[in-house]
Amino acid sequence: MGRQSEALLLASRPRDARAVAQRGLEGARARGERGNEAQCLRALGEAEASEDLSEADAAMAHLEEALALATELGMLPLVAHCHLGLGKLYRRTGKGEQAQEHLTSATRIYRDMGMTY
């Protein structure tokens, strides 16, 4: 469901992306699928962040929860994606120092894994 939510975001359908991510999150938690839970948390945060800044607090909370879970599970690509999402969101909300910290972390992890643009 996390990937489907991301596809909906790319199609400029944030409300649908949010609904799909929320359903996926509920299902992943019910089945104890912690990796899928982390992916759905990130997708939910990204969907909330893409709408308007009124959802910024919820988006940050979901992205931070996804980051913590992905870190615990050793899901480095997802950790990097969470840092990137948080960095972009903090930048949009005028929190430059926090944005830079997350963007630097994302860049470092991407480079360490050999992931480039």
Q: What's the pLDDT tens digit per position in 81-90? A: 999 999 999 9
Show me where the domains of the chain are located: 2-112
E-only strand ranges, 1-117? none
pLDDT mean across residues, the chain: 94
- Residue 94: what are its φ and ψ, rounded to 5°? 80, 20
> Quick one: which of 87, 18, 28, 24 has its CA closest to 58?
18
pTM: 0.93
**For 41-55, what is the mean pLDDT?**
91
What is the topology classification, in CATH, of domain 2-112?
Answer: 1.25.40
> Quick one: which of 20, 84, 19, 94 has its CA closest to 56?
94
Distance in angstroms (rounded) separating the CA atoms of residues 20 and 26: 10
